[in-house]
Structure 1
């Protein structure tokens, strides 16, 4: 599997730079990075499928909401997510972004390292000439 993220040096937490050729791909790769950094095998069988919907006033807040919801569901339902399908839309009238996704994975977190939270520290979501890029820090 091709990696679409790079781990950046940080003293205590995990910081990654993630990229994608579309906004949806960026959000998918951010989720893959979060679970792979915890030790998940992204090629594992993924029989559990859950729908996830998020809404936020901007892309940074939407990325935090998306990753935080995945983290919450992973912890409470004992699921390791490994595959993602995302659609992101903008509602100009409501001045918000909506995310509708399906997340697939398997039960049993096993000996995964632990991400406590997704943070706003140095958070950035930017469109580039090659697509989209984000910097995300996970509290561990």
Structure 2
């Protein structure tokens, strides 16, 4: 699995954690960091390109940015499981404790996507959403796989 992808301030990376995997997204805003972390989540499953053939809307709520981040990732994992899809493009809008997101993806093609694992859920382990001294936001946690 790729370790990181960088495009300007928006990027993502994986970090090791026992049998699970850490994901981390970076961006100019919390929303952009959440979008990048979603890319990292998909990269845990497949290296293949995921086509934006189907649009799925999700909404979630959390009392703070960290818990909202976990809710966001778990909403994606839920949609992956119930729809049998992978998502490769994401848009997030955060207003207070509410998140509205759009996922674009396609049904899993086992031959083309060669899924490495199925994420079970985002956890509170290593959970952190914060801006650094340069104003770059990061959103990170461990995902149970």
Q: TM-score range by the shorter chain?
A: 0.7 to 0.9
Q: Which sections of structure 1, spanning at least 5 residues, go unmatched?
A: 91-96
Q: CA RMSD in A?
A: 1.7
Shift, 1:16, TM fit: 2.6
Give the TM-score normalised by structure 1: 0.87
Number of residue equivalences: 133
Shift, 1:109, TM fit: 5.4
Shift, 1:84, TM fit: 0.7
For residues 85-132 of structure 1, give each alpha carbon's deviation from its aligned partner in whole angstroms, at most 9, with x where no partner exists: 111111xxxxxx111111100012523112111100121111222320
Shift, 1:14, TM fit: 0.1
Shift, 1:79, TM fit: 1.1
Shift, 1:46, TM fit: 1.2
- 3-state DSSP of counterpart to 1:68: helix
Give the structure 2 partner of residue 66 of structure 1.
Answer: 72
CA contact (8 A) 1:40 1:80 kept: no
Q: Using a 3 Å threshold, how does the CA distance of structure 1 residues 86 and 46 change in structure 2: closer, same or farther?
A: same
Give the structure 1 partner of residue 27 of structure 2.
Answer: 20
Give the structure 2 partner of residue 120 of structure 1.
Answer: 124
Give the Cα–Cα distance (whole angstroms) in 1 for the partners of residues 40 and 69 of structure 2: 13
Q: Residue 131 in 1 paired to residue 136 in 2?
A: yes
